[in-house]
């Protein structure tokens, strides 16, 4: 299994709007395309940190699902164009992880 821990910096004042976009549009679209989303969180200590976790069977599946999501019309025409106003992309952190053999999150 391959995991992506994604941490975003949200533009101050946009956290509620960002969470709504994630929960009502981005996550449902990605799940509909086959991605497994394990959870999403906001920081308790600051209002600009948003974190979410995705799981893929392997690199091949990750590439195929990226293509399915990020090349679809809904992403390119509706969702994608709204993101820069709410998220500081240059501060985005993506940590790719592999679970240890006895990790309960397999």
At residue 105 the predicted structure's pLDDT band, cuts being 50, 70 and 90, is confident
The CA distance from 73 to 98, in Å, is: 31
Domains and CATH numbers, the chain: 2-97 (3.30.70.100)
pLDDT tens digit sequence for 31-88: 999 999 999 999 999 999 999 999 999 999 999 999 999 999 999 999 999 999 999 9
Number of Cβ atoms within 10 Å of the Cβ of 6 = 16
- Residue 106 predicted with pLDDT over 80: no
This prediction's pTM: 0.92
Mean pLDDT of 77-104: 96
Query: Token pair for residue 41?
Result: 């969180």
Residues pairing with 87 in the sheet = 10
């Amino acid at each position: 299994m391959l995991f992506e821990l994604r941490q975003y910096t949200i533009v101050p004042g946009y956290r509620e709007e960002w969470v709504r976009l994630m929960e009502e549009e981005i996550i449902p679209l990605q799940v509909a395309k086959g991605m497994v989303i394990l959870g999403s969180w906001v920081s308790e200590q600051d209002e600009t940190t948003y974190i979410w976790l995705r799981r893929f069977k392997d690199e091949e599946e990750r590439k195929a699902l990226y293509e399915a999501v990020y090349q679809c019309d809904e992403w390119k025409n509706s969702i994608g164009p709204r993101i820069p106003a709410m998220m500081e992309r240059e501060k985005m952190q993506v940590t790719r992880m592999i679970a240890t053999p006895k990790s309960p999150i397999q």
